[in-house]
């Protein structure tokens, strides 16, 4: 028998506020996938609706084999949860995929009570397909160990769905929640923790899953964008750094109400169309690209995108067989921090060359002489090197087009130096050496 809803609650968008337990605000991922900006949004929207309904069972469908106890779940139309989360894609299957990731995410809190330590964010999830004009219904439960803390917390932070959905980065969303928690604290000061703790909290990545980057890169890629984003909301944060000598150790924020609240413009789309097309250019489908955008930190995704695009445009490297696979590998292994790249291409054998000739002692001797000439050239001071470069540029018009230090530049000038040695009539066959002995004048003949 279908259970009819016991009450109907209509709340204007600007008044969609909810209470989030303090112990559920400052969390770090203990195991599971990255707690992305979209994951945080969906979790907050589910928490908001659970508090709005007050109790599970409202709009519950008839019991069925796959869900024999629908009264234990919170039920809302799937389009509603996508709308409240400002999901910018019409593909609601991606919302389901994100909810499934929340099921496998375990978080831990540093709250002294320990009531929210190593807890699964979302329990079982059910999807009831609609028919006709009836929309699909999504049903979920919170883990029993945390249901009371999440639905009716004693110590909580009041948050607004509007401001949370106006934030576009994982770091900005996490920092906003933490800052709101400490807004009414003495002096408006947040907790003071090592910057590694803040890295885990603001990136949403599993603790210890990757090596920590240098602090300056964390500040550039995560901290600064998050601060700028939060300062466009109803609060203002200022970063304070604690140092031992020149080494930054701990971070703390001072939180105050914004002097003037920003104009309440509609939040931007979660799915950045330009970013989406850049990811799809690697060979991903729209759904795959949307999933990557929804599950990856914005700054980390953009940095990895730039790295892979630069790799694709580097003609001195061997072509990538699968840009999509390389991009996934770059995300998984954090190529941005480790600066890993594919090995350079092997020198291409000229079409008219004979294999036996390429491997001959004469070719090996030529390579050795080129390397020796390059070593001597690079050992010169800048004043000694300039006259040599001047003659090199005069030797052929194409030499000026070569990028100094590049592979083609080194190969070309190395062969030119060897040829110059062969033309010299003096006992010293090194053009570089001759230039050096002439006092850097470049007059070698």
By CB atoms closer than 10 A (0-12, 13-18, 19+), residue 72 is: middle
Sole residue written with tokens 């250019």: 281
Is residue 75 in some structural domain?
yes
Q: Which region holds residue 233: left if phi is over 0, alpha if psi is between -120 and 50, else beta?
A: beta
Q: Is residue 303 included in any domain, yes or no?
A: yes
Q: Give CA–CA dist 199/208, Å, rounded.
A: 11
Residues 162 and 14 in one domain: yes
315 plus 383 within the same structural domain: no
310 neighbors 269 (Cβ within 8 angstroms)? no
- Do both 299 and 396 map to the same domain? no
- Arithmetic mean of pLDDT, 348-377: 66
Q: Of 12-21, 92-101, 260-269, which one has max mean pLDDT?
A: 92-101
Query: What is the number of other CB atoms lying within 10 angstroms of the CB of residue 185?
Result: 11
Please tell me whether residues 426 and 309 are part of one structural domain. Answer: no
Tokens of 17: 């506020």
Whether the predicted pLDDT of 313 surpasses 60? yes
Count of alpha carbons within 13 angstroms of residue 208, beta-carbon side: 2
Strands (E) located in 67-211: 74-77, 106-109, 119-120, 125-128, 137-140, 156-160, 193-194
pLDDT above 90 coverage of the chain, percent: 18
Q: End-to-end alpha-carbon separation of the chain, Å?
A: 104
Over residues 394-422, the mean pLDDT reads: 77
**What's the rounded Cα separation, in Å, for the pair 280 and 274?**
10
For the beta carbon of residue 174, count every other beta carbon within 10 angstroms: 27
Residue 121: both structure tokens together: 């964010």
**In contact, 222 and 171? CB cutoff 8 Å:** yes
Residue spans of beta strands (DSSP E) within 161-273: 193-194, 235-244, 247-257
User: Do 294 and 158 share a structural domain?
Assistant: no
218: in domain? no
Together in a domain, 332 and 391: no
Whether the CB-CB separation of 425 and 432 falls below 8 Å is answered with no
Return the minimum-mean-pLDDT range out of 67-71, 234-238, 383-387: 383-387
Residue 67 pLDDT greater than 90, yes or no: no
* DSSP notation for 252-267: EEEEEE-SSPPP-PPP
Higher per-residue pLDDT: 15 or 386: 386
What is the per-residue pLDDT for 89?
64
Are 46 and 144 in the same domain?
Answer: yes
The number of folded domains in the chain is 3
Any idea how long the chain is? Answer: 445
Helix axes 382-395, 407-423, angle to 10 degrees: 80
Identify whether residues 392 and 359 lie together within a single domain. yes
Provide mean pLDDT across the span 174-180: 94
The Cα–Cα gap between 430 and 422 comes to: 9
Give me the DSSP letters along 370-424: HHHHHHHHHHS-HHHHHHHHHHHHHH-GGGGGSPTTSHHHHHHHHHHHHHHHHH-
Cα 328 to Cα 128: distance, rounded to the nearest angstrom: 33
Q: Is residue 430 part of a domain?
A: yes
What's the pLDDT score for residue 113?
56
- Considering 18-22, 30-34, 223-227, 409-413, the range whose residues carry the highest mean pLDDT is 223-227
At residue 440, the pLDDT reads: 43
Alpha carbon dihedral 43, 44, 47, 48, in 10-degree steps, equals -150
Residue 172 falls within a domain, yes or no?
no
CA distances to 41, 179, 258, 269, 389 from 235, rounded to whole Å, are: 19, 8, 4, 22, 58
Q: Name which of 205-209, 269-273, 315-319 the model is least confident about.
A: 269-273
Single out the residue in 166, 200, 225 at which a domain terminates. 166
The residue from 292, 310, 338 where one domain ends is 338
Lowest pLDDT segment from 123-132, 148-157, 254-263, 342-351 = 342-351
pLDDT value for 288: 76
Do 58 and 135 fall into the same domain?
Answer: yes
401, 403, 406, 410: CA torsion to nearest 10: 50
Residue 363 lies in a domain: yes
> Which pLDDT does position 134 carry in this prediction?
84
289 with 418, same domain: the answer is no
pLDDT of residue 145: 65
Structure tokens given for 331 = 């995300």
pLDDT digits over 72-101, tens only? 999 999 988 888 887 766 667 778 888 888
Q: Domain with 38 in it: what CATH number?
A: 1.10.10.10
Q: Provide CB contacts within 8 A for 427, sequence distance 6+.
A: none
Residue 137 domain-assigned (yes or no): yes
Q: Minimal CA–CA distance to 74: which of 151, 146, 133, 22?
A: 151
E strand residue ranges, 121-168:
125-128, 137-140, 156-160
Q: How far apart are CA 407 and CA 405, in angstroms?
A: 7
Residue 213 lies in a domain: no
SS3 per-residue string spanning 49-62 = HHHHHCCCCCCCCC
149 and 110 belong to one structural domain: yes
Contact indicator for 293, 271 with CB cutoff of 8 Å: yes
pLDDT at 226: 93
Of the three residues 289, 307, 338, the one that is the final residue of a domain is 338
Predicted local distance difference test score (pLDDT) of residue 251 = 97
34 pLDDT higher than 70: yes
Both tokens of 188, joined, read 């408006």
Judged by DSSP in three states, 137 sits in strand
- Tell me what pLDDT residue 442 has: 42
Q: In this predicted model, what pLDDT tens digit does every residue of 200-227 receive, in sequence order?
A: 999 988 888 888 999 999 999 899 999 9
Q: Across the chain, what does the average pLDDT equal?
A: 78
Residues 294 and 429 both lie in one domain: no
Q: Please give the residue range of the domain that contains residue 108.
A: 7-166
In angstroms, the CA 25 to CA 321 distance is: 43
In this structure, what DSSP letter does residue 220 have?
Answer: I
């Amino acid at each position: 028998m279908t259970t009819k809803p016991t009450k109907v609650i209509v709340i204007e968008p600007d008044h969609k506020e909810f209470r989030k337990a303090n112990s559920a605000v400052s969390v770090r991922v203990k195991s599971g996938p990255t707690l992305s900006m979209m994951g945080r949004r969906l979790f907050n929207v589910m928490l908001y609706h659970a508090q709005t309904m007050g109790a599970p069972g409202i709009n519950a469908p008839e019991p069925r084999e796959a869900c024999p106890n629908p009264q234990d779940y919170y039920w809302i139309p799937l389009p509603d949860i996508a709308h409240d989360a400002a999901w910018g894609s019409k593909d609601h299957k991606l919302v389901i995929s994100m909810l499934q990731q929340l099921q496998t995410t375990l978080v831990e809190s540093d709250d002294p009570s320990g009531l929210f330590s190593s807890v699964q964010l979302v329990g079982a999830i059910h999807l009831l397909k609609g028919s006709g004009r009836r929309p699909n219904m999504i049903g979920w439960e919170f883990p029993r160990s945390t249901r009371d803390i999440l639905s009716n917390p004693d110590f909580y932070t009041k948050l607004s769905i509007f401001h949370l959905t106006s934030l576009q980065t994982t770091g900005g969303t996490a920092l906003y929640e933490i800052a709101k928690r400490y807004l009414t604290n003495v002096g408006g000061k947040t907790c003071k923790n090592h910057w590694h703790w803040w890295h885990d909290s603001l990136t949403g990545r599993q603790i210890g899953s990757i090596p920590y980057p240098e602090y300056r890169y964390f500040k550039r890629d995560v901290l600064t964008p998050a601060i700028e984003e939060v300062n466009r909301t109803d609060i203002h944060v200022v970063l304070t750094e604690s140092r031992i000598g020149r080494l930054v150790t701990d971070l703390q924020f001072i939180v105050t109400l914004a002097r003037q609240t920003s104009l309440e413009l509609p939040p931007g789309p979660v799915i950045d169309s330009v970013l989406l097309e850049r990811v799809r250019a690697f060979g991903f489908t729209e759904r795959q690209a949307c999933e990557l955008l929804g599950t990856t930190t914005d700054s980390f995704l953009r940095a990895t995108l730039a790295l892979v695009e630069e790799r694709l445009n580097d003609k001195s490297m061997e072509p990538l067989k699968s840009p999509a696979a390389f991009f996934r590998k770059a995300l998984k292994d954090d190529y941005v921090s480790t600066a890993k790249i594919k090995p350079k291409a092997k020198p291409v054998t000229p079409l008219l060359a004979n294999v036996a000739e390429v491997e001959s002692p004469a070719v090996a001797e030529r390579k050795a002489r080129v390397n020796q000439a390059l070593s001597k050239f690079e050992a010169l001071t800048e004043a000694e090197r300039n006259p040599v470069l001047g003659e090199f540029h005069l030797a052929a018009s194409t030499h000026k087009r070569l990028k100094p230090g590049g592979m083609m530049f080194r190969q070309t000038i190395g062969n030119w130096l060897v040829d110059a040695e062969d033309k010299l009539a003096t006992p010293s066959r090194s053009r570089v050496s001759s230039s050096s002995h002439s006092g850097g004048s470049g007059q070698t003949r």
